[in-house]
Amino acid sequence: GQQLNQSPQSMFIQEGEDVSMNCTSSSIFNTWLWYKQDPGEGPVLLIALYKAGELTSNGRLTAQFGITRKDSFLNISASIPSDVGIYFCAGASVGVVDTNAGKSTFGDGTTLTVKP
Amino acid sequence: DVKVTQSSRYLVKRTGEKVFLECVQDMDHENMFWYRQDPGLGLRLIYFSYDVKMKEKGDIPEGYSVSREKKERFSLILESASTNQTSMYLCASSLPLGGGASYEQYFGPGTRLTVT
């Protein structure tokens, strides 16, 4: 099946620093999504991207849908302690039979630790 | 707000037991999913369902089955639990196909299952 390469696997940063993470795929995606999972909870959707080249912000978070449709990145500016968690990217492709169920392919996650 | 609930946050079962994990969503979503999450492996899809009584295998269905008798409820069944099924299990739901929003998944808080 389709696979996503998400990097970095983990990050240890100081409060106030900016963060950047990305996902790449060998396949083209029509939708990219970014989720955050707080410790002990389920993932929550942060940003959804539907168009190649699209740049979308949600507070201190900014995500972009790559022009090639094979990558996406997420930036967090001025990190704070509550940014701690696991960030997942997910991609979906129209035209794949099982996409009828809204199935996405998930990256392995980036674990973010923020030191106060 | 969409609410996805899972029957237990923590569960301890013995090898060979039959285990039921229940998931309920309150937003009339057609699509429902079961994932397992293991460190370093991200979210792996076990089964998904796009309608009542309809189900499709995901990437790792072996050792699991599912049941969707009502639209709001999706159950994951471990017919004979084994120690390698110790994991975090996450349920999710999403709107039906009809645009990008169908890929936006809403997750429950997860069930941490330990099989001894």
Residues A58-97: tens digit of each pLDDT = 999 999 999 999 999 999 999 999 999 999 999 987 655 5
> How would residue B40 be classed by pLDDT, with cut points 50, 70 and 90?
confident
Residue the block writes with tokens 């293991």: B38
pLDDT of B15 > 80? The answer is yes
pLDDT of B80 > 60? The answer is yes
**C-alpha closest to that of A111 among A14, A21, A1:** A21
Size of interface A-B (CB pairs under 8 A): 75
CB-based contacts of A100, cutoff 8 Å, min separation 6 = B50, B97
Number of Cβ atoms within 10 Å of the Cβ of A19: 20
A9-13, A99-103, B29-33, B74-78, range with the lowest pLDDT:
A99-103
| Paired tokens of A81 | 């302690």
In chain A, which residues have their Cβ closer than 8 Å to the Cβ of B101? Answer: 48
Interchain contact, A48 vs B107, CB within 8 Å: no
In chain A, which residues have their Cβ closer than 8 Å to the Cβ of B107? Answer: 35, 42-44
In chain A, which residues have their Cβ closer than 8 Å to the Cβ of B50? Answer: 100-102
Task: Give the burial string for B82-103 (b: 16+ CB within 10 Å, else e).
Answer: eeebbbbbbbbbbbbbeebebb
| Paired tokens of B79 | 């017919």
User: At CB < 8 A and 24+ separation, what contacts does A2-5 make?
Assistant: A2/A26, A2/A27, A2/A91, A2/A93, A2/A105, A3/A105, A4/A89, A4/A90, A4/A91, A4/A105, A4/A106, A4/A107, A4/A108, A5/A107
Q: Which of A30, A35, A102 sits opposite B31 (nearest CB)?
A: A102
Interchain contact, B103 vs A9, CB within 8 Å: no
